[in-house]
């Protein structure tokens, strides 16, 4: 059965172009279009699509307000397609926090030709998003805070192995998954290295959001930055992140070398550097995401003696990368998302 898509955008041109792009794939059927959220609401009831594409700037109700209502009343897979998802990092992150699965930035010039230029990406993301596991909107701030406080009482002041480092990799669905894991880390945890597939321009805002919400200090990594306990380092969009030894210190190294597994930053690049610099003295988790980036690197780490974790299928938005790791026996443990932080920290402790 083809994926049944409803396109929601106030521009008739964009609706026409997206319909043309998606209709070229026999596995996708555009069942309707809507020029504003009120029309979209009625068409969702009438057509029962598998997923929707959603713009942000629309008349009568903006896309974020509509998304909030949709995920509260009728949760379904949503792919954001908007110019604001490119220039407005906070708006993108708000959409993902509210439950949108993924996003595609509209080109800012030559909208018609620009969209056709990324047609393959749009079609691929539509098919992945349609299969994503979507949950109702969670008023989660209070729950997150209580989770953090309860975990702190268990692990605050724990004695960690000297030089231990934690690594995390993720893709689709990963911005919120990483947030959930980091919220459970105490301020004295081992250093954390993170690669999330994210475009340039979003990673700065995302690092700032993590830093604001979490007990750890969270940085967008810089080349030469010394890695310290109580801190997390996020790969910038469009840069690979590696850990390297520099005398007695371990530092971040950024590079714009070729994409790996079609990604820059790549999870495999980070994981391979952890294997080379840390050997078994690290604990590493591969979280939700499409594709297989990170699976081979996780296997390499397991062979080095590191403690490796894959997120389980039920808690993943997209069980792609963790699934690839499980299938190649790269994970020592397979854990639901809410148990990943404790498992990473447990492996970092003495005893």
The residues that are catalytic are: 171, 197, 293
Rounded (10°) angle between helices 174-183 and 337-348: 50
Structure tokens at 202: 């979003």
Q: What is the CA radius of gyration of the chain?
A: 20
Looking from the CA of 63 toward its CB, the CA atoms found within 13 Å total 29
Contact 107, 82 (CB under 8 A): no
List residues bridging with 310 in a β-sheet: 286, 334
Sign of CA dihedral 232, 238, 239, 240: positive
Distance CA 190, CA 94 (A): 28
The pairing of beta strand 249-255 with beta strand 240-246: antiparallel
Q: How many CB atoms lie within 10 A of CB 205?
A: 17
Residues 6+ apart with CB under 8 A from 127: 3, 25, 27, 28
Residues 6+ apart with CB under 8 A from 118: 104, 107
Judged by DSSP in three states, 136 sits in coil
Looking from the CA of 267 toward its CB, the CA atoms found within 13 Å total 31
């Amino acid at each position: 059965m083809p994926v049944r898509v409803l396109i929601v955008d106030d521009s008739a041109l964009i609706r026409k172009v997206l319909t043309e792009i998606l209709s070229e794939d026999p596995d996708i059927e555009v069942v309707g279009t809507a020029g504003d959220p009120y029309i979209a609401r009625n068409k969702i009831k009438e057509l029962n699509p598998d997923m929707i594409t959603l713009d942000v700037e629309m008349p009568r109700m903006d896309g974020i307000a509509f998304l909030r209502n949709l995920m509260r009343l009728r949760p379904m897979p949503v792919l954001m397609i908007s110019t604001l998802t490119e220039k407005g990092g906070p708006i993108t992150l708000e959409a993902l926090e509210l439950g949108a699965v993924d996003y595609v930035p509209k080109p800012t010039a030559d909208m018609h030709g620009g969209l056709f230029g990324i047609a393959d990406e749009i079609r691929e993301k539509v098919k992945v998003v349609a299969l994503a596991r979507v949950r109702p909107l969670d008023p989660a701030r209070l729950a997150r805070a209580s989770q953090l406080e309860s975990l702190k009482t268990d692990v605050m002041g724990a004695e960690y192995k000297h030089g231990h480092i934690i690594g995390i990799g993720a893709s689709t669905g990963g911005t919120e998954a990483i947030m959930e894991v980091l919220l459970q880390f105490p301020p004295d945890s081992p250093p954390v290295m993170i690669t999330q597939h994210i475009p340039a321009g979003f990673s700065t805002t995302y690092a700032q959001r993590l830093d604001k919400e979490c007990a750890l200090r969270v940085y967008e990594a810089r080349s030469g930055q010394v890695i310290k306990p109580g801190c997390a380092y996020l790969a910038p969009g469009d840069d690979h992140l590696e850990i390297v030894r520099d005398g007695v210190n371990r530092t971040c190294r950024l590079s714009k070398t070729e994409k790996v597994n079609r990604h820059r930053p790549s999870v495999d690049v980070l994981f391979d550097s952890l294997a080379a610099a840390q050997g078994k003295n690290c604990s590493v988790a591969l979280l939700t995401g499409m594709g297989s980036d990170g699976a081979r690197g996780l296997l390499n780490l397991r062979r080095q003696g590191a403690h490796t974790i894959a997120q389980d299928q039920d808690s993943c938005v997209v069980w792609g990368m963790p699934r690839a790791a499980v299938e190649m026996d790269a994970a020592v443990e397979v854990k639901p998302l809410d148990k990943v932080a404790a498992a990473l920290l447990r492996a970092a402790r003495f005893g």
